[in-house]
């Protein structure tokens, strides 16, 4: 075998390994970015019907909440698992982000460096903040509590941020798809714009319905009382 061919084969094998490793980084445990709601619900052992709709247009954005109570109980793995909660976010039935909250009692005493070291074993060397693609997080309640990132990992296919909540000293990990997160961010902004534009008409419709319901109730009472009233 020629030296050139040997080098080509070696480079090819290295590329395969690199691609496989990169694919592994586009996930957290058994939850892979881009998966549909039903698949994630099956892996998490929760009902897909429990997903909450955040926006319906111009794209469907949903959240599914997962907590250890839904896991196997009694096993050592479940008892030692530091994950307290995971919130999965979907854009048009594709997982674009998950927010992992770690139990502060099971991370008690761990420094930022300890957490960065542990997570770097999965996602590689942490990046400078300016090196990470914008995650375009949709501002749900849990997003607003994140604060500033302690460390960041990622490339064009995945983005990971480690956060420490200031009010509860709780570590959180956000794993997202930059491509899907960007689309979700655009859709969420447009949904807010549409809601604000249509808010006055919705308020008028609500008041009109309340007034109509009140009139109908009054008329029903009038007819019932008129039939039975005796002075």
> pLDDT for 212-221, tens place per residue?
888 889 989 8
Report whether pLDDT(21) > 60: no
| ∠ CA 197-142-42, rounded to 5° | 100
Distance CA 108, CA 101 (A): 14
Report whether pLDDT(122) > 60: yes
Mean pLDDT of 169-197: 91
Mean pLDDT of 6-14: 36
Residue 20 sits at φ, ψ, to 5 deg, of -60, -40
pLDDT at residue 160, as a whole number: 95
Class of residue 97 by CB neighbours under 10 A (exposed 0-12, middle 13-18, buried 19+): buried
Q: Which residue is it, tokens 């956000």?
A: 174
pLDDT at residue 194, as a whole number: 87
pLDDT at residue 100, as a whole number: 95
Mean pLDDT of 178-189: 94
pLDDT at residue 169, as a whole number: 78
From 62, 120, 116, select the one nearest 91 (Cα to Cα): 62
Distance CA 123, CA 26 (A): 9
Highest-scoring range by mean pLDDT, 60-69, 77-86, 206-215: 60-69
Tokens, residue 92? 């048009």
pLDDT at residue 141, as a whole number: 61
Report whether pLDDT(58) > 50: yes
pTM of the model: 0.72
* Average per-residue pLDDT for the chain: 81
Q: For the chain, what percent of residues have pLDDT higher than 70?
A: 76
pLDDT at residue 99, as a whole number: 95
Domain parsing of the chain, residue ranges: 29-187
pLDDT at residue 88, as a whole number: 97
- Residue by residue, DSSP assigns 193-216 as HHHHHHHHHHHHHHHHHHHHHHHH
* Cα atoms in the Cβ-side hemisphere of radius 13 Å centred on 45: 7
CA torsion, ordered 125, 44, 103, 160, to nearest 10 deg: 20
pLDDT band for position 199 (cuts 50, 70, 90): confident
């Amino acid at each position: 075998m020629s030296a050139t061919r040997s080098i080509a084969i070696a480079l090819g094998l290295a590329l395969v390994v690199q691609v496989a490793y990169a694919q592994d980084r586009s996930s957290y445990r058994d939850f892979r970015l881009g998966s549909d709601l039903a698949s994630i619900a099956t892996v998490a052992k929760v009902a897909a019907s429990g997903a909450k709709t955040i926006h319906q247009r111009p794209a469907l954005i949903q959240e599914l909440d997962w907590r250890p109570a839904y896991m196997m109980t009694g096993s050592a793995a479940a008892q030692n698992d530091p994950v307290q909660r995971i919130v999965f976010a979907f854009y048009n039935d594709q997982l674009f982000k998950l927010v992992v909250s770690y139990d502060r009692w099971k991370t008690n005493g761990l420094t930022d460096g300890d957490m960065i070291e542990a997570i770097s074993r999965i996602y590689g060397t942490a990046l400078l903040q300016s090196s990470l693609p914008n995650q375009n997080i949709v501002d749900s309640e849990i997003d607003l509590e994140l604060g500033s990132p302690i460390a960041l990992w990622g490339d064009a296919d995945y983005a990971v941020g480690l956060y420490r909540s200031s009010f509860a000293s709780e570590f959180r990990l956000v794993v997202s798809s930059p491509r899907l997160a960007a689309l979700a961010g655009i859709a969420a902004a447009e949904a807010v714009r549409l809601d604000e534009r249509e808010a006055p008409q919705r308020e008028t419709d609500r008041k009109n319905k309340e007034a109509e319901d009140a009139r109908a109730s009054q008329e029903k009472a009038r007819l019932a009382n008129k039939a039975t009233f005796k002075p």
